Amino acid sequence: MKKVFLFLLKDIKNEYRTKELFSSMFTFALVIILIFNFSFNISRELLSYAVPSFMWICFTFAGLLGLSRSFGIEKENEAIKGVLLSPTSPVLIYISKFLSNFLFLFILELILLPLFIVFFNYDISGSILVLYSIIITGTIGFVSVGTLFSTMSVNTRLREVILPILLFPIIIPLLINSVRVTFVILNGQPLDKVWYSIKLIIAFDIMFLFTSAIVYGYVLEED
């Protein structure tokens, strides 16, 4: 547990000192919001259907940036060797990487959600807390596979290019359900309508957290 914490602290410190990852993720997210605002000039009724998908596209794209960077940083100056040499198991490295990726993305989402409401003139009828909890659940799933694939992608020839191709087909079920649930919460409809979707998101989270943790050792091996 202490090892996980130390690794996590390393990532946070690194980010705190450079601030490069977070600032680029944030700027990218803003640019996406801007583009959506101008490319979809739609009426208010349609907006309530579109904003949940905008939100998740924005989160995943910005998250993708963070994911590809999170291991890219280790690859520079061969810092990954230090991580591998430390007396830990791959599972612990996975958990710490997962936590740091999750933390950065979640802080970003915390800031972005109000911006969505401001820029799209959106009135939330549901509870914000419920909305954040579903965002957390969705983000866990996204980051769990994302951490695994980002480690893989930095070791391939195509580097960052291959990460979105690997990741997006896999997270499609997650996106479908998250968008559905988010739509229901934003419009203040009863949650039991999408209870099945919530269960699917949770199933996705559990399934891929465990599988990724188990197979992470194979991805990390150097040869």
Q: Where along the sequence are the contacts to another protein (CB under 8 A)?
A: 145, 148-149, 152, 155-158, 162, 165-166, 169-170, 172-173, 176-177, 180, 196-197, 200, 203-204, 207-208, 211-212, 215, 218-219, 221, 223
Phi, psi of 118 (to 5 degrees): -70, -50
Residue 26 or 71: the one with the smaller Cβ distance to another protein is 71
State the Cα–Cα distance between residues 47 and 50, nearest whole angstrom: 5
Look at residues 76, 93, 34 and name the one whose alpha carbon lies nearest to residue 58.
34
Q: Where are the alpha helices (DSSP H) in the chain?
A: 2-18, 20-39, 44-75, 79-85, 90-119, 128-154, 162-186, 195-220
Q: Least distance (Å) from another protein to the CB of residue 90? A: 12
Residue 57 or 176: the one with the smaller Cβ distance to another protein is 176
Q: Least distance (Å) from another protein to the CB of residue 161? A: 9
Q: Least distance (Å) from another protein to the CB of residue 169? A: 5
What distance lies between CA 78 and its chain's CA centroid? 25
Q: Least distance (Å) from another protein to the CB of residue 74? A: 17
Residue 115 or 202: the one with the smaller Cβ distance to another protein is 202
Residue 30 or 152: the one with the smaller Cβ distance to another protein is 152
The amino acid at 95: I
